[in-house]
Structure 1
Amino acid sequence: MPLARRQGCELYWDKQGEGPPLILGAGLGGVGAYWTPNLPGLTKHFTVYRFDQRGTGQSGRTVVDSIEQMSADLVAVMDDAGLDRAMYLGHSTGAAIGVATALDHPERLSALMVYASTTCGDDYRRKILGLRTKIFESLGVADYAKYSTLLLYPPYWINANPDEVAKIEAATATQLANPQIQESRFEAILNFDRRTELSRIGIPTMILCADDDILTPKYFSEEYARLIPGARHHWEPRGGHALSRTEPEIFDKIAIEFFKGKKS
């Protein structure tokens, strides 16, 4: 099992496929398994690298200090995998990790997709994540997983996929750490704000968000599109926060068209 190590924390990663290297960074859940529905499409074109962020999945169960700490973890994973440079596709918190890496380690990324992420922690986001913390602490991981379903997946998809929803919620309960670690992850993304520096990002960048995303509303993505020089953007009419899972064929097509031809 591939494991990078940094600051006393083991960081799990894996790779599949053939072609230029493309790293996938998951959201607040933090586990590379989030991307499983997209592997059949993406691995036809890229060598896909996934990783479990600190505090989640098969990585060490340690609290998180900041998005920048997890960006340095990403660099450690790349070093362990022998990657000097790669393309990066990040979802939500994972996209913030990519933005921090593009700013703090610009030589390591050749292209960036910011998918359903935030530029800062505003009052709206603090209300949502504060409630998630209270649910986890008082009601437990099972109810936390059910509430997360409502935030990630739109009604049309939940109604059409009850069995898949049950599997996702059961998996969430096994992948999460304790409330203290999860709260540290919430604080890391809420405290992340590099807006004054985004003009320094000089690699090809795509901003992607669904119109019906209620967890990271589109206004954050619109701000990224305004502040990153030359950034392209795509607004998908529906799909919720978890567009890559609710509409995987549409998502894969957008990602493949953007990353194909980019140099690693």
Structure 2
Amino acid sequence: MLHHEIEGRPDAPPVVLSGSLGTTLRMWDPQMEALTSRFRVVRLDHPGHGGSPEGGDGSIADLGRGVLDALDRLGLSRVSFAGLSLGGMIGMWLAAHAPERIDRLALLCTSAKLGTPASWAERASAVREAGTASLAETVAARWFTPGHTGAEPYVRMLGEVSAAGYAACCEAIGAMDLRPDLRLITAPTLVLAGAEDPATPPAHAELIAAGVPGSRLVVVDGAAHLASAERPKTVTWHLLDHFLAE
């Protein structure tokens, strides 16, 4: 089972948070105070990330099934779901293939199709050879805008991720094409992009918003890929606004 933490009101509606490739569930710390005052919040680590064991077949579908298994074990039949980057990819798969399980959906700084299988295979190979710490400088430049001073805790998270777990998730992203699934998503959906995100630029969010019926697009100024960390108050406000909507 995926490593998880549950906080907030036990009787409140459940919200699941799933983060970026190369981070742990701690990446959501800036949102927790506000979310736990209104929801029962479940944070999950991807396989090989944080406290979750390595495993799986290296596909987005397998990662999605891992989340469904965790929800089943926790007795959660229907949840709202927020995913950033890889977490958003998993959220799209869940909302398209298990729509009865997703109440409201928030997709942050993510993509329905990202890069090529070859480019992701190359990154996976490099990480298996040199470890996740070898990515620190490159990843920090993608996660945050130039001059941002709060990157260090998130770069440390990257070092906590196993090389095999990171590489397997790279291969899942490389093989992924969720564009045909977008029209199947029926959950009310917020699509949020960082205006200065070099990893999943706003055009990726625009494609998702155009494909998901009735979705709403928000672009956050002054944010790169980890918008939830770089602009925490703005992102938290949009999550609350979306999840509390009638």
Alignment TM-score, normalising by the size of structure 1? 0.85
Compare 18-27 and 131-140 and name the one that shifted more.
Answer: 131-140
Which residue of 158, 168, 175 corresponds with 2:154? 168
Q: Residue 116 and residue 167 in structure 1: after superposition, are their counterparts in 2 closer, same or farther (change >3 A)?
A: closer
Partner of 1:204: 188
Deviation at 1:126, TM superposition (A): 6.0
Deviation at 1:65, TM superposition (A): 2.0
Partner of 1:93: 86
Deviation at 1:72, TM superposition (A): 0.7
Distance, in Å, in 1 between the alignment partners of 2:38 and 2:47 is: 28
SS in 2 for 1:156: coil
Identity of matched residues, %:
25
Structure 1's unaligned 5+ residue stretches are 1-9
Deviations 1:132-191 (A, max 9, x none): 44653555433312221111111131xxx2xx43333233212x112x432221110122
Partner of 1:14: 5
Deviation at 1:49, TM superposition (A): 0.5
Distance, in Å, in 1 between the alignment partners of 2:184 and 2:73 is: 27
SS in 2 for 1:107: helix
Q: Residue 113 and residue 27 in structure 1: after superposition, are their counterparts in 2 closer, same or farther (change >3 A)?
A: same
Distance, in Å, in 1 between the alignment partners of 2:202 and 2:118 is: 16
Distance, in Å, in 2 between the alignment partners of 1:70 and 1:251 is: 25
SS in 1 for 2:70: helix
Deviation at 1:230, TM superposition (A): 0.5
Quick check: 1:232 aligned with 2:225? no
Paired amino acid for 2:4: W
- RMSD, aligned α-carbons: 1.9
Which residue of 54, 64, 68 corresponds with 1:71? 64
Compare 74-83 and 56-65 and name the one that shifted more.
Answer: 56-65
Distance, in Å, in 1 between the alignment partners of 2:158 and 2:23 is: 10
Compare 187-196 and 247-256 and name the one that shifted more.
Answer: 187-196
Quick check: 1:28 aligned with 2:14? no
Quick check: 1:242 aligned with 2:226? yes
| 1:111-126 alignment runs, 5 A limit | 111-123=104-116
Quick check: 1:82 aligned with 2:75? yes
Partner of 1:148: 139
Distance, in Å, in 1 between the alignment partners of 2:145 and 2:130 is: 23
Distance, in Å, in 2 between the alignment partners of 1:130 and 1:75 is: 26
Paired amino acid for 2:113: C
Paired amino acid for 2:193: C
Alignment TM-score, normalising by the size of structure 2? 0.91
Deviations 1:88-147 (A, max 9, x none): 000011111111111111110011011111111335x964x4664465355543331222
Structure 2's unaligned 5+ residue stretches are none
Q: Residue 202 and residue 165 in structure 1: after superposition, are their counterparts in 2 closer, same or farther (change >3 A)?
A: closer
Distance, in Å, in 1 between the alignment partners of 2:21 and 2:172 is: 10
Compare 129-138 and 95-104 and name the one that shifted more.
Answer: 129-138
Partner of 1:251: 235
Partner of 1:7: none
SS in 2 for 1:203: coil
CA contact (8 A) 1:88 1:113 kept: yes
